[in-house]
C-alpha cells in the first residue's frame, strides 16, 4: 500500500472523528449552539374600544408596524379590556413563550414586577411606566412628559386672548398630573397671570376611552372663559378637539399629530414618540442588544415635541416658534428646569 493511500485514509478517519465530536458538542444542553435567546415578540395594551384611538395606542402600533416592515418580523398583539386582570393577561402571554413582551402603559408596572421573577427567561419592556430596576429581565421606558407639556403650555399661554386656558386629563394618575404640571409652568412662563382650569375624565381605565365625557368637560371650560384647552386624555381627547371645533376655540392634541382632525381649531399637538420606544425594544431584542433598567426619554432625546404643519401653520407665528425653540434649548442645557409632579 502506498504512503499516499495511507495518508488519505488517515485524513478521512480524522475528519470523521472531528464531525462526530462536533455533533456531540451540539447535542449538549446549554452548549453555545443552543444558547441563542428566543425572539418571539408580543405587545400588550388596553383596548380603547375601536381599532384606532388617534393617540397613544396608535403611536405604539406605529412603532410595531415599522419594526415588522423593516425586519420582516411578526409581533403578536394582545388587547386588554379595562375590566380584565392585567397580571393574568400578561401571564398568559408569557406562558405562550413570547419574549420580549412589550407592555404599553403605566398600568403594567405592578403586573410585570409580580411576574418577572417567575419568568426569568422572558424579557419585559414597560413603555410609559417606571419600574424599579430590580430584575435583569425588565426594562422600563419613562417619558419626561412635563418637558413636552411645558412647550405646549408656552403656546397656549401666548395664544390665549382671554388669559384663561384649560387642561383636561384622562385617568387621574401621577403620569397625567405630570403633564398638567409642565403645562401650567409653561403657560406661566409665557404669561405669569394666566388662569388654568384643570379637570380629569375619571379615575378608572375607562377614562381613556370616553370622548363624550371629555367633550362635556371641555364645553364647560370653554363656557367658563377658557379659549385654549390641552387634552392629555388618550382616546377621550377627541371629545375635547370636537368641542373646540364646535365652539370656535382651540384645543391642543396629544401623543400623535392630531392637527388635521379639526384644522383651524387644533392649535398644535404634543407629539410623544411612543413609537420610538416600541420600535427600539423590538430592534434591540432582535439584535441581542436589549438591556434592562430604566430609560428616560425627553426633549433632548427627540421623544417629545410639538407639531407644526399645513393645518396649523397660520395659527402659530414665527416669533412664537422662535420663543419655543429657545425654551427647548434652555431645557436641554439646564437653564430651564421643568418641575415634575410629585404626589404628596
Burial group, residue 17, by CB count within 10 angstroms (0-12, 13-18, 19+): exposed
Give the integer Cα–Cα distance in Å for 157 and 190. 5
Mean predicted confidence (pLDDT) in 256-267:
97
CATH label, 145-271+305-333, candidates 2.30.30.280, 3.40.50.2300, 3.40.605.10, 3.40.50.920: 3.40.50.2300
**43: phi then psi, degrees, rounded to nearest 5:** -130, 140
Position 81 confidence tier, pLDDT thresholds 50, 70, 90? confident
Give the integer Cα–Cα distance in Å for 321 and 319. 5
The pTM assigned to this predicted structure is 0.86
Give the integer Cα–Cα distance in Å for 57 and 288. 26
Q: What cell was used for 89?
A: 393577561
**The pLDDT of residue 277:** 97
- Note whether 118 and 124 are within 8 A (CB): no
Mean predicted confidence (pLDDT) in 80-99:
94
**The pLDDT of residue 55:** 86
Mean predicted confidence (pLDDT) in 295-320:
97
Cis ω for the linkage preceding 100 (within 30 of 0):
yes
Q: What cell was used for 209?
A: 376611552
**The pLDDT of residue 151:** 98
Give CA 121 to chain center in angstroms. 24
Average pLDDT, the chain: 90
pLDDT tens digits along 265-288 = 999 999 999 999 999 999 999 999
pLDDT tens digits along 123-132 = 999 999 999 9
| pLDDT of residue 324 exceeding 90 | yes
Burial group, residue 245, by CB count within 10 angstroms (0-12, 13-18, 19+): middle
**The pLDDT of residue 49:** 64
Position 162 confidence tier, pLDDT thresholds 50, 70, 90? very high
pLDDT tens digits along 164-221 = 999 999 999 999 999 999 999 999 999 999 999 999 999 998 999 999 999 999 999 9
pLDDT tens digits along 30-75 = 333 333 478 999 999 987 666 778 888 999 999 999 999 999 999 9
Domain ranges in the chain with CATH number 3.40.50.2300: 42-144+275-297, 145-271+305-333
Higher pLDDT, 36 or 327: 327
Fold of the domain built from segment(s) 42-144+275-297? Rossmann fold (3.40.50)
**The pLDDT of residue 48:** 63
**The pLDDT of residue 52:** 75
Position 87 confidence tier, pLDDT thresholds 50, 70, 90? very high
| pLDDT of residue 28 exceeding 90 | no
Amino acid at each position: 500500500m502506498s504512503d499516499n493511500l495511507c495518508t488519505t485514509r488517515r485524513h478521512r478517519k480524522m475528519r470523521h472523528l472531528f464531525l462526530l465530536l462536533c455533533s456531540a458538542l451540539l447535542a449538549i444542553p446549554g452548549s453555545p449552539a443552543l444558547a441563542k435567546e428566543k425572539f418571539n415578540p408580543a405587545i400588550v395594551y388596553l383596548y380603547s374600544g375601536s381599532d384606532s384611538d388617534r393617540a397613544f395606542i396608535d403611536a405604539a402600533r406605529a412603532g410595531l408596524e415599522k419594526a415588522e416592515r423593516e425586519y420582516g418580523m411578526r409581533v403578536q398583539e394582545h388587547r386588554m379590556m379595562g375590566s380584565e386582570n392585567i397580571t393574568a393577561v400578561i401571564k398568559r402571554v408569557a406562558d405562550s413563550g413570547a419574549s420580549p413582551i412589550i407592555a404599553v402603559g403605566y398600568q403594567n408596572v405592578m403586573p410585570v414586577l409580580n411576574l418577572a421573577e417567575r419568568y426569568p427567561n422572558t424579557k419585559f419592556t414597560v413603555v410609559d411606566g417606571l419600574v424599579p430596576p430590580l430584575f435583569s429581565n425588565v426594562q422600563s421606558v419613562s417619558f419626561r412628559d412635563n418637558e413636552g407639556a411645558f412647550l405646549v403650555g408656552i403656546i397656549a399661554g401666548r395664544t390665549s386672548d382671554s388669559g384663561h386656558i384649560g387642561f383636561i386629563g384622562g385617568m387621574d394618575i401621577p403620569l397625567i398630573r405630570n403633564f398638567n404640571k409642565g403645562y401650567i409652568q409653561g403657560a406661566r412662563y409665557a404669561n405669569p397671570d394666566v388662569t388654568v382650569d384643570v379637570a380629569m375624565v375619571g379615575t378608572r381605565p375607562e377614562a381613556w376611552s370616553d370622548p363624550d365625557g371629555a367633550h362635556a368637560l371641555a364645553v364647560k371650560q370653554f363656557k367658563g372663559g377658557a379659549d385654549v384647552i390641552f387634552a392629555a386624555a388618550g382616546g377621550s381627547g377627541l371629545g375635547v378637539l370636537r368641542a373646540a371645533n364646535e365652539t370656535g376655540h382651540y384645543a391642543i392634541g396629544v401623543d400623535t399629530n392630531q392637527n388635521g382632525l379639526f384644522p383651524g381649531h387644533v392649535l398644535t399637538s404634543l407629539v410623544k414618540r411612543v413609537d420610538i420606544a416600541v420600535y427600539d425594544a423590538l430592534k434591540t431584542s432582535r439584535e441581542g442588544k436589549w438591556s434592562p433598567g430604566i430609560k428616560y426619554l425627553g426633549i433632548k432625546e427627540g421623544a417629545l415635541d410639538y407639531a407644526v404643519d399645513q393645518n396649523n401653520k397660520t395659527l402659530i407665528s414665527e416669533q412664537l416658534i422662535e420663543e419655543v425653540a429657545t425654551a427647548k434649548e434652555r431645557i436641554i442645557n439646564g437653564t430651564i428646569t421643568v418641575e415634575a409632579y410629585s404626589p404628596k
